[in-house]
Each structure stands twice: as C-alpha cells, then as structure tokens.
Amino acid sequence: MGQIIDLLSYSFIQRALICGIAISICAALVGVILILKNYSMIGHGLGEVGFAALTLAVALNVSPLLVSLPLVMIAAIIIMIISQKKGESGDITIALVSTGALAAGIIITSLTTGFNIDVANYMFGSILSMTKNDVIISVVLSVVVLCVYMFFYNRLFMITYDEKFAKTRGINVTFYQFLISFLTALIVVLGMRMMGTLLISSLIVFPAVIAKGLTNSFRQLIIISGIISVTCFILGIFLSFFLNLPTGASIAAVYILLLIITRVVNKICI
C-alpha cells in the first residue's frame, strides 16, 4: 500500500491517471454503441490510420496530434461514406482503409526516420511520458466527447437499436452515424499515446464486450462498461509500473483476464 501511495505522489503518474481515466470513460461509452452496431473493428482500423498519420508527423517534424486528428477523422468519414454509398459491409471497408494506411505508414517510415523512439511510443503506448499540455488537450477533448454523448443520448440509443424506427421518428440517422464516427476518431487519437496504435481497439471494445455479458440494459451497459474501463486502466497502469511492462499491453492484459473470469463465472452460474 505504501508503494502505491508513493507512486501517486509522482506528477507523471498523476497526469497519466487524470488523462487515462477521462479517455477510458469516453472509449467505454462509444464502444457500447460500436459493439451493438457490429462496428467493433473500427477502432483497430482507425488505429492503423493513426499510425500512418504519426509517421507523417514525425517525418515533417510537427505535432502528431495536429496531423493525426484531421487524418483519422477523414478516414472515419470515408469508412462511413463507402459503407453507405457502395453497399460494402463495415468490416470490409475498415479492412481496406486500415491496410492501406498501414502500408503508407511503413513506406513513410522506411523513407524517412525509420522506427525511432517517437514511433515506438505511439505504436506500443507510453502514457507515462505525457506532458502537461498533452493532459490538458486530452481532458478538454474528452469533456467534448462526454457532452456530445450526453446531449444526443436518446437519439444515439434509438439509432443503435432500431434505425428504421428512428427514421420514422424523423431522426436524421445518417447524421448520427457520422457523429459516432467522429467521436470514435477523437477517442482513437486521444488513446494512441496511452494504448498505442496497435492496441487502441482494446480500449474501445473490451469494456463493452465484458459488460454485455453482464446485462442487457443499455443504460446499465454504459455504466458497467465505464466502471470496467476505468478499473482496468488503473490496474494496468500499476501493473505496467511495478513490472516495467508497456502500458498499453498491460491494460489489454487486464481486460483479457477480466473477460476470461466473467465468462467462466457466467458458465458456472448458468
């Protein structure tokens, strides 16, 4: 217990916890919608786009956030447009976009700086190296995501479960689909430093998947998912620090362990 108290006295741990908790809550909320709409792989696909944006930012020697934010949002919009206009399934579209982005990122890296420490940090996660400015930006954008989510909660709920019924109620379903893509893109960009581009999808998918096995209520699903997300993040941070492991991988490992435990308990109780 004393070690944990000492750990919390470090400013970099405080920054990591503040930023990570805010991002974890947002990821859990949006992840519920993505899971229920069978768009669970969009986080992984946009993470690959984030990797390509990162390599471009490093090559141009500019802020990764300034490059990755618009590019990931554009990719999210492209995925949605192709899925709707061309009749492609969501997973196929995501696979096409993510594979192209990954190839572009590898080519840019090979032609410029190579796999240096900046690229590695974003690929595998390095939340403990976040600066004060990173935390401020992450928290502000997380608050934006939360406010938008709460403001449109009823309509997001409606289009998640029944798009046809939502249309009969006069709801612009297309607008809210793009809104979901926009929120997902924001979370991917914010979570890249914490989880790394390779594992960012776990931050979005796992809390909702675990919570879905515990309840069928949409409201409870959101609450439980948020609690799971924050708890696993905190446990992952401590695990990462005490065992000197990559942050993103540690958090993902906690998610996997909790998923296995809940599935086993469900099997035993049924």
Lowest mean pLDDT among 18-27, 128-137, 223-232, 236-245: 128-137
Higher pLDDT, 220 or 246: 220
Locate 34 and state its tokens: 């993505």
Segment 189-215, tens digit of pLDDT: 888 777 777 777 888 889 999 998 888
Q: Which of 2, 24, 12 is nearest to 251 (CA)?
A: 24
* pLDDT for the residue 89: 55
Q: Is the pLDDT of residue 265 over 80?
A: yes
Cβ pair 91, 97 in contact under 8 A: no
AA letter at 83: S
pTM: 0.84
Q: State residue 270's pLDDT score.
A: 62
**What is the end-to-end Cα distance of the chain in Å, rounded?**
37
Cα distance between residue 131 and residue 68, in whole Å: 18
pLDDT at 129: 62
pLDDT value of position 91: 65
- Name the percent of the chain in helix, strand, coil, to the closest 5: 85, 0, 15
CA distance 168 to 268: 43
pLDDT for the residue numbered 224: 92
Residue 12 CA to residue 85 CA, distance in Å, equals 46
If one compares 150 and 190, the residue with the highest pLDDT of the two is 150
The confidence score (pLDDT) of residue 63 equals 74
Give the residue carrying structure tokens 């590898």. Answer: 106
In the three-class reduction of DSSP (H, G, I as helix; E, B as strand; rest coil), residue 246 is classed as coil
Average pLDDT of span 84-98: 66
For residues 40 and 206, the answer to whether their CB atoms sit within 8 Å is no
Share of the chain above pLDDT 90, in %: 7
Q: What is the pLDDT of residue 161?
A: 79
SS3 assignment for 129-168: HCCHHHHHHHHHHHHHHHHHHHHCHHHHHHHHHCHHHHHH
Residue 71 Cα distances to 15, 48, 228, angstroms? 26, 11, 30
146 Cβ contact list (under 8 Å, min separation 6): 25, 26, 29
Q: Identify the pLDDT of residue 22.
A: 87
Q: What is the pLDDT of residue 56?
A: 81
C-alpha to C-alpha distance for 147 and 135, rounded to whole angstroms = 18
pLDDT by residue (tens digit) across 113-148?
A: 665 556 666 666 666 666 777 778 778 888 888 888
Report CA-CA distances (Å) from 151 to 39, 113, 122, 146, 160.
22, 43, 32, 8, 15
Residue 162's φ and ψ, nearest 5 degrees, are -155, 95
Please return the burial class of 82, using the count of CB atoms within 10 Å of its CB with bins 0-12, 13-18 and 19+. middle
